[in-house]
Amino acid sequence: ETGVTQTPRHLVMGMTNKKSLKCEQHLGHNAMYWYKQSAKKPLELMFVYNFKEQTENNSVPSRFSPECPNSSHLFLHLHTLQPEDSALYLCASSQDIFPLGQYFGPGTRLTVL
């Protein structure tokens, strides 16, 4: 058990929908991350939050909007997505921001129709 939970585990949405992915960590960590894993491609780091402050945005399109209300919760708000955004979205946390090892959640499998 990782201590990092993600909901929902699976999500199917249309291109005009608005949905949110939720991540919660029970490890007392200070840093949280969103990653995207597309089929047959390496993991891509999307956003990094440290002590609730966004420290990195890896040129992610504005249709993805992160929110970190506190150190334990991280959201990824989705709107007007494209079919190519279909992927596994992984949340991770770590005690301190890089370089310490990260604990990953199980991911949300997103399908955009």
- Closest by CA to 64, choosing from 50, 91, 82, 88, is 82
CB-nearer residue toward another protein: 40 or 69:
40
Token representation of residue 22: 């939720």
Contacts of 52 (CB under 8 A, 6+ apart): 68, 69, 70, 71
Residue 86's SS3 state is coil
Closest approach of another protein to the CB of residue 52, in Å = 19
Closest approach of another protein to the CB of residue 30, in Å = 15
Closest approach of another protein to the CB of residue 58, in Å = 8
CB-nearer residue toward another protein: 80 or 103:
103
Which spans of this chain sit near another protein (rule: CB under 8 A)?
Answer: 2, 37, 40-45, 88, 90, 92, 97-107, 109
CB-nearer residue toward another protein: 110 or 112:
110
CB-nearer residue toward another protein: 41 or 70:
41
Closest approach of another protein to the CB of residue 16, in Å = 26
Read off the DSSP letter of residue 29.
-
SS3 content of the chain, % helix, strand, coil (to 5): 5, 55, 40
